[in-house]
Structure 1
Amino acid sequence: MNPHEQFEQEVRSNVDGLKADRDVQALSRIWLREITPHKYAYNFTWMGRPIIQFPQDMMAMQEIVWQVKPDLIIETGIAHGGSVLYYASLLELAGHGEVIGVDIDIRAHNREAIEAHPMSRRLRMIQGSSIDAAVISQVHELARGKRAIVVLDSNHTHEHVLAELRAYAPLVCEGGYCIVMDTLVEDMPAHFFTGERPWKPGDNPKTAVRAYLQENDSFVVDEDLEAKLLITVAPQGYLKRVKG
């Protein structure tokens, strides 16, 4: 066994240990519960733009992009643009690929800042609902013949995410991923979700993932990746395509 294989075997052993360690998993869930009211994900930027993601998940995305080598990364939900620019940066480093960002409301000040960013040359933005038929058709046309991965991070209700999964997951290449963000809503106390946003335990991305996996056997949850991260906004949300 060469040193690279030995190191990879050690990492696999580490991940197996984390999967089996229920105390560590429980502590991670407690940490997530306690940090959520503090808006921890809002504290980070990528190359000057707010990214509103956990650093752990962005490290996972880097691994996925390098492993899959997609021609296209599709993300629903743009907000301040940090995540779409992050994915564009990864593709820039790899020297190949494009990002499509879809958002129902790309605010003028965000659009201006995103378009002025040096990584915007690998980014195409589409304004409209991610589940609107015309938007879906446009994305499908742009994705034709390309190796794609998908990130769903817009409206987090069950109905909306399930519609997104049905619309965009089929675009994912075999061996690629559809990543459903904010599945952790299902695991949070109900009183966290009393504001204007309609998602809550029982009606959120994780319930949509469960429903989608019941009707589609092309994807499985990457439990090893989740175990490796421990801290993630997407528990059971890293869906790997195992059938073409």
Structure 2
Amino acid sequence: MLYYDSRMFGKTWVDTTFLGTKVEKCPLDLWIYQEIIHEIRPEIIVECGTFLGGGALYLASICDLLNHGQVVTIDILDRKDKPQHSRIEYLLGSSTSPEIVEKVRARVQG
């Protein structure tokens, strides 16, 4: 619990970066993500909440290592400095809006 509790001291997962981009996820969670991705080998990973794009970059990089998979990431804010990667598709909107749900559904169905 120390890792999570350290937020009260001003340092926690908020400072986590991947290749220089803020991820804002627990590094232990990232480790588990790569284990799951390696085992399941999903065609598409859907991320709800892009923020700065570090999570999407991490997931896309794992897909690169496996030579398999794409990342569709959704956010309500359009940040101009998002990392660019051939395996990442950014969608702008609410992940619960019918339009975005339909875009994701169409993407997943191919």
Fold shared by both chains (TM-score > 0.5): yes
CA distance in 1, matches of 2:5, 2:61: 31
Gaps of 5+ in 2: none
CA distance in 2, matches of 1:34, 1:102: 29
**2:98 counterpart residue number:** 133
Say how many residue pairs are matched. Answer: 109
* Structure 1 unaligned spans of 5+: 1-27, 146-244
Q: How far is 1:106 from its partner?
A: 2.0
Q: How far is the alpha carbon of 1:32 from its aligned partner?
A: 5.2
For residue 67 of structure 2, the aligned residue among 95, 100, 105 is 95
Q: Counterpart in 2 of 1:40? A: 12
Give, in angstroms, the shift of residue 107 of structure 1. 1.6
CA spacing shift, 1:33–1:62, aligned 2, 3 Å: closer
What is the CA distance between 1:39 and its match in structure 2?
4.4
- Answering whether residue 107 of structure 2 is matched by residue 142 of structure 1, we say yes
Instruction: Give the ranges of 4+ consecutive aligned residues of structure 1 lying more than 2 Å apart after TM superposition.
Output: 31-34, 36-39
For residues 74-223 of structure 1, what are the structure 2 equivalents within 5 Å? 74-108=46-80, 110-111=81-82, 114-115=83-84, 120-144=85-109
- Matched to 2:46, the amino acid is I
2:18 is matched by which residue type in structure 1? Answer: W
In structure 1, C-alpha distance between the alignment counterparts of 2:76 and 2:98, rounded to whole Å: 13
Alignment deviations for residues 53-84 of structure 1 (CA, whole Å, 9 cap, x no partner): 11100000010000101111000111111100
Identify the residue that residue 32 of structure 2 maps to in structure 1: 60
Amino acid at match of 2:73: G
SS in 2 for 1:74: strand
| 8 Å Cα contact 2:4/2:12 also seen in 1 | no
Partner-residue secondary structure (3-state), 2:106: helix
Q: Percent identity?
A: 28
Name the structure where helix makes up a greater proportion of residues: 1
> If the length of structure 1 is used for normalisation, what is the TM-score?
0.43
Q: For the structure 1 residues 133 and 39, does the alpha-carbon distance in structure 2 shift closer, same or farther, using more than 3 Å as the test?
A: farther
Q: Is the 8 A contact 1:78 1:106 kept in 2?
A: no
- Among residues 24, 45, 53, which one is paired with 1:73 in the alignment? 45
Q: Alignment RMSD, CA only? A: 1.4
